[in-house]
């Protein structure tokens, strides 16, 4: 069982995000957006000028300020910790950097059993700066919940094996299929790192957690079940004792939604390709849904946004009638960098204005 925090968790039962996430009835439709903090905000670009991404992630004051920016601007119902999925790898001592315009680049890709066995483990003190940022945020956020997050083991593995972002994940799939024993050993190490990173955030007092399996959609269902699902299951199982809502999200994972629902999360994130009414059928009743406005819709003008937001709200209400325990409005992926922040604010206000079902 997870070692529990001595931190007194905040009482935020009335917060719409937490009400929807725990099967309650929120007083308004809760909404937050993946990548709501970041490049779409001019105040973020000004603050980050000349400061590297990873440097920002290890500065508690910057973590706090960047996380707070969309809360002040957009009136969203939850904050998500400003960090990056490769932060725990960097903290553990893996030589990597986030290259502007490219993404995470790993100096020495993991390709052999010796490479796997040479990987470091993460110690809680190595993410002390992240914990410090959370402590500042809990004071700054007031009644707004804070979501902690981590990259799922498969997505971390894909970066380590490929050496950086990949369109086809050919080296990752080759290791998985050609040497399953080595693959599962690698996934075991990364599962340990993911759990340790999330445990540090939960001990610090985050109110919910999200596991991002950004690249799991590259796999067919049978491979996902065999090579990925057991490790994601362990993440959720080992953190269940904290009693906070757990969200599971991937991109292009429509065919995997049922299996992702089995991994143990309370809420399954849905990208824009799958209607919420189809998602509830695939995931099954008894879990919440999060999503799923296409980020590109925010470029289409007020009438298109209005129509899409109302459609998704209607589908969400139908999904709840079909057995979903709640719905949290979100994008089907992250805010795109060139999105007009004023449009985001207006979209949040529109979502809040839509009546809840009786």
246 is annotated as an active-site residue: no
pLDDT digits (tens, 9 = 90+) for 63-94: 999 999 999 999 999 999 999 999 999 999 99
Q: How confident is the model at residue 7 (pLDDT cuts 50, 70, 90)?
A: low
* Domains of the chain, first to last: 16-353 (3.20.20.210)
User: What percent of the chain stands above pLDDT 90?
Assistant: 95
| Pair of tokens at residue 30 | 């809760």
Among 29, 73, 77, 159, the one annotated catalytic: 159
Among 39, 111, 273, 281, the one annotated catalytic: 39
Tell whether the torsion through CA atoms of 97, 98, 101 and 102 is positive or negative: positive
The mean per-residue pLDDT over the stretch 99-113 comes to 95
Question: How much is the pTM?
Answer: 0.96
Q: How confident is the model at residue 356 (pLDDT cuts 50, 70, 90)?
A: confident
Q: How confident is the model at residue 1 (pLDDT cuts 50, 70, 90)?
A: very low
Q: What is the pLDDT of residue 124?
A: 95
What distance lies between CA 96 and its chain's CA centroid?
Answer: 21
Q: What is the pLDDT of residue 8?
A: 59
Residue 164 has pLDDT above 80, yes or no: yes
Among 10, 29, 35, 282, the one annotated catalytic: 35
User: What percent of the chain stands above pLDDT 70?
Assistant: 97
242 is annotated as an active-site residue: no
The mean per-residue pLDDT over the stretch 238-264 comes to 97
282 is annotated as an active-site residue: no
**Nearest to residue 83, comparing CAs of 125, 34, 18?**
34
84 is annotated as an active-site residue: yes
227 is annotated as an active-site residue: no
pLDDT digits (tens, 9 = 90+) for 259-309: 999 999 999 999 999 999 999 999 999 999 999 999 999 999 999 999 999
Among 9, 59, 84, 179, the one annotated catalytic: 84
Return mean pLDDT, the chain. Answer: 95
pLDDT digits (tens, 9 = 90+) for 173-207: 999 999 999 999 999 999 999 999 999 999 999 99
């Amino acid at each position: 069982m997870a070692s529990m925090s001595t931190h007194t968790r905040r009482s935020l039962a009335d917060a719409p995000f937490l009400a929807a996430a725990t099967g309650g009835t929120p007083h308004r439709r809760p909404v937050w957006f993946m990548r709501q903090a970041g490049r779409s905000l001019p105040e973020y670009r000004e603050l980050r000028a000349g400061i590297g991404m990873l440097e920002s992630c290890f500065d508690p004051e910057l973590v706090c300020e960047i996380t707070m920016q969309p809360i002040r601007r957009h009136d969203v119902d939850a904050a998500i910790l400003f960090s990056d999925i490769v932060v725990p790898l960097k903290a553990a001592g893996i030589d990597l950097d986030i290259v502007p315009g490219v993404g995470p680049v790993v100096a020495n890709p993991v390709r052999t059993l010796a490479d796997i066995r040479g990987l470091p483990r993460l110690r809680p003190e190595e993410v002390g700066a992240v914990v410090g940022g959370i402590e500042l945020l809990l004071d700054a956020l007031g009644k707004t919940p804070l979501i902690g997050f981590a990259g799922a083991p498969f997505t971390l593995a894909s970066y380590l094996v490929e050496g950086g972002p990949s369109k086809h994940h050919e080296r990752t799939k080759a290791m998985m299929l050609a040497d399953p024993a080595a693959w599962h050993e690698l996934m075991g190490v990364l599962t340990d790192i993911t759990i340790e990173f999330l445990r540090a955030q939960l001990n610090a007092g985050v109110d919910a957690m999200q596991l991002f399996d950004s690249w799991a959609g590259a796999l067919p269902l049978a491979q996902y079940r065999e090579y990925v699902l057991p490790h994601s299951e362990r993440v959720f199982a080992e953190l269940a004792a904290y009693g906070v809502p757990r969200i599971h999200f991937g991109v292009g994972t429509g065919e995997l939604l049922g299996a992702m629902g089995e991994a143990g999360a309370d809420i399954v994130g849905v990208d824009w390709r799958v209607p919420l009414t189809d998602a509830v059928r695939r995931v099954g009743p008894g879990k919440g849904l999060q999503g799923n406005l296409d980020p590109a819709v925010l470029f289409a003008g007020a009438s298109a946004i209005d129509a899409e937001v109302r459609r998704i709200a209607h589908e969400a209400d139908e999904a709840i009638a079909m057995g979903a325990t709640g719905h949290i409005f979100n994008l089907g992926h992250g805010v795109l960098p060139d999105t007009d922040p004023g449009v985001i604010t207006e979209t949040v206000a529109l979502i809040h204005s839509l009546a809840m079902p009786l």
